[in-house]
Structure 1
Amino acid sequence: MIKFELDERLAADTLPIADLPLSRVLLMNDARYPWVVLVPRQISISEVFELSAHDQQQLWYEATQLGEAMKTALKGDKINIASLGNVVSQLHVHVVLRRHSDATWPAPVWGNGSPEPYDLDGQAQLRDQLLALIDGLDI
């Protein structure tokens, strides 16, 4: 049996948070934004249309439920949800909380400035907040 493996680049750029029914939730290691990445735990999938119809719905449900919870609890102005995959082909969905006061507003987060890695306290605090949000979701 082939086991799900996270792309090396995603593993290097993120910190693990939890598993949802379909996706692994990762925290992007960039303290400028509360930013999570959802990666469906399936083998050799690079496009949303390669998922079953049920799993496509589940992925969108997970992304929108987590995005709504993040926007409310972390007091954001906008949630950006995107699946790009130009650098990392493994299917993954970004859920980024944006604030009018953030480092690159209103421009995209990609390609603007350099990531600012979390210090251990900031990482632990946001991880705990995200775990509490995930525990409260009806997914």
Structure 2
Amino acid sequence: MTFQLHPRLKQDCIAIGRFELCRLLMMNDSRYPWFILVPERADLQEIYQLSKVERELLTEESSYLAENLAVLYKADKMNIAAIGNMVPQLHIHHIVRYRTDKAWPAPVWGKFDAVPYTESQIADNVTLIRDQLRF
């Protein structure tokens, strides 16, 4: 079976690029810099289902992303989580948090409706992230 991005991730996110293992997406919610890594492997729900080498690669890609997001967006805190209750496909959220954001200190899930990016905000953010990550 080949990798296919879950329909909910396709619907809610903007494609940014690819690492060696993972596809990088940006959640279409302008309230938070919110990015998602999705390992491009078919039928994955849990990190332990990856091979040892792939788990190590996922850790490296996640750490690289988190460090760059923290610097780029001057984060107070990075929230990183693989929940998967709504979307069973393995995906790891990387959310830049600020003590001043609307949901602080609670998690962002289910608190407020998303505020989609404008087309120009999408273009600006995609360029910013691709430049920072050297895609």
Q: How does 1:84-103 map to 2 (within 5 A)?
A: 84-103=83-102
Counterpart of 1:117 in structure 2 is 116
Counterpart of 2:48 in structure 1 is 49
Query: CA–CA distance in 1 between the matches of 2:97 and 2:23?
Result: 22
- Can you list the C-alpha shifts for 1:54-108, whole angstroms capped at 9, x where unaligned? 1111111111111111111111111111000001000000010001111211110
Residue ranges of structure 1 left out of the alignment (5+ in a row): none
C-alpha RMSD of matched pairs (Å): 1.0
Q: Identity over aligned residues, as a percent?
A: 38
Return the TM-score normalized by structure 1.
0.94
Counterpart of 2:63 in structure 1 is 64
- Aligned-pair CA distance for 1:3: 2.5
One-letter amino acid of the counterpart of residue 52, structure 1:
S
Task: Tell me, yes or no, if the aligned pair for 1:13 and 1:28 is still in contact at 8 Å.
Answer: yes
Query: CA–CA distance in 1 between the matches of 2:115 and 2:69?
Result: 20
Counterpart of 1:78 in structure 2 is 77
One-letter amino acid of the counterpart of residue 19, structure 1:
R
Runs of 4+ with deviation above 6 angstroms = none
Query: CA–CA distance in 2 between the matches of 1:88 and 1:16?
Result: 17
Counterpart of 2:2 in structure 1 is 3
Query: CA–CA distance in 1 between the matches of 2:51 and 2:101?
Result: 36
Deviates more, 1:39-48 or 1:55-64: 55-64
Aligned length: 135
One-letter amino acid of the counterpart of residue 58, structure 1:
L
Secondary structure, aligned partner of 1:24: strand
- Aligned-pair CA distance for 1:121: 1.1
Residue ranges of structure 2 left out of the alignment (5+ in a row): none
